[in-house]
Amino acid sequence: MIAIWAVEGLPEFRPGDDVAQAIGDAVGAELDDGDILAVTSKILSKAEGRIVVAADREAAITAETVRVVATRGTTRIVQNAWGQVMAAAGVDSSNTDDGTVLLLPADPDASARALCVALRERFGIRVGVIVTDTFGRPWREGQTDVALGAAGVRVLDDLRGATDAGGRELLVTQPAVGDEIAAAADLVKGKSNGTPVAVVRGLGHLVTDAIDPRGAQPLIRDAANDMFRVGSTEAWDEGYRAGLEAPGRS
């Protein structure tokens, strides 16, 4: 059985707040060995002071972008400094003061590690942490939460080499359990009811003794395996320019 519930009683976070202390105080004795905490990235961003004055949100998006993947109208799909491909570089103007925007944590894996270490030391148990944010998806309408950062929990469950119920070898099966946990937790966290953290119980087999420094990075597909590294319009433009520049063309 898997149980998921929102953590009640958390404050509105401000720059400099101790997120681990606040979450620890709120969950108290409820936390058990093998539990996973799904933490909305926004509260970490606020505590880490990732709030910037920006009358022009587009300028903030540009500052967070290392590569433009695709554009359509005013919408930009971009890659940020740690490899995530997402709309608007995750720059958010909701639930923040007028005239400001909220950036994602500078390093979501580092944020997850700090939180995980603090909670393990406080309670003396193995807990995992997943830092979540909302993503749109190619080929699918709507949005879902995914794992931006992680600590103390496997984000890919590698089943390659195992066999299915019919005895056939599994060759490519790697459930993205980090993303699945993030999405499931979002069902109870909500977007506007003041519950940005959820406890996920029943997946202790994914919680690790050691904290893998790679965090959620295994979920990011590398360039060599990315069949959709640029948008269709951008790919056509790139190919057209390459054709014009090919030897023998003028």
pLDDT of 71-83, one tens digit each? 888 889 999 988 8
pLDDT band at residue 243 using 50, 70 and 90 as cut-offs: low
For residue range 114-146, list pLDDT tens digits in order: 999 999 999 999 999 999 999 988 888 999 999
Across the range 204-214, mean pLDDT stands at 95
- Backbone dihedral region of 167: left (phi > 0), alpha (psi from -120 to 50 degrees) or beta? left
- What pTM, to 2 d.p., does this model score? 0.87
Please list the alpha-helical segments (H only) found in the chain.
19-27, 41-47, 57-64, 108-123, 177-189, 232-244
For residue range 16-46, list pLDDT tens digits in order: 999 999 999 999 888 999 999 999 999 999 9
Secondary structure (3-state) at 46: helix
Lowest-confidence segment of 12-16, 108-112, 125-129, 241-245 by average pLDDT: 241-245
Lowest-confidence segment of 172-176, 206-210, 245-249 by average pLDDT: 245-249
Give the pLDDT of residue 98. 80
> What's the CATH architecture for 1-48+104-219?
2-Layer Sandwich (3.30)
Give the pLDDT of residue 102. 93
Q: Please tell me which residue, 31 or 97, carries the higher pLDDT value.
A: 31
Residue 122 identity (one-letter amino acid): R
C-alpha–C-alpha distance, residues 45 and 33, integer Å: 27
Q: Please tell me which residue, 229 or 235, carries the higher pLDDT value.
A: 229
Q: Please tell me which residue, 223 or 146, carries the higher pLDDT value.
A: 146
Give the pLDDT of residue 83. 87
Give the pLDDT of residue 144. 93
Decide: 146 and 183 in contact? Cβ < 8 Å.
yes
C-alpha distances in angstroms, 225 versus 42, 65, 113, 220?
30, 21, 28, 10
Give the pLDDT of residue 233. 76
Kindly tell me if the per-residue pLDDT of 250 is higher than 50. Answer: no
Write out 185-243 in H/E/C secondary structure: HHHHHCCCCCCCEEEEECCHHHECCCCCCCCCHHHCCCHHHCCCCCCHHHHHHHHHHHH
Residue 4 is classified by DSSP as E
For residue range 180-190, list pLDDT tens digits in order: 999 999 999 97
Domain boundaries defined on the chain: 1-48+104-219
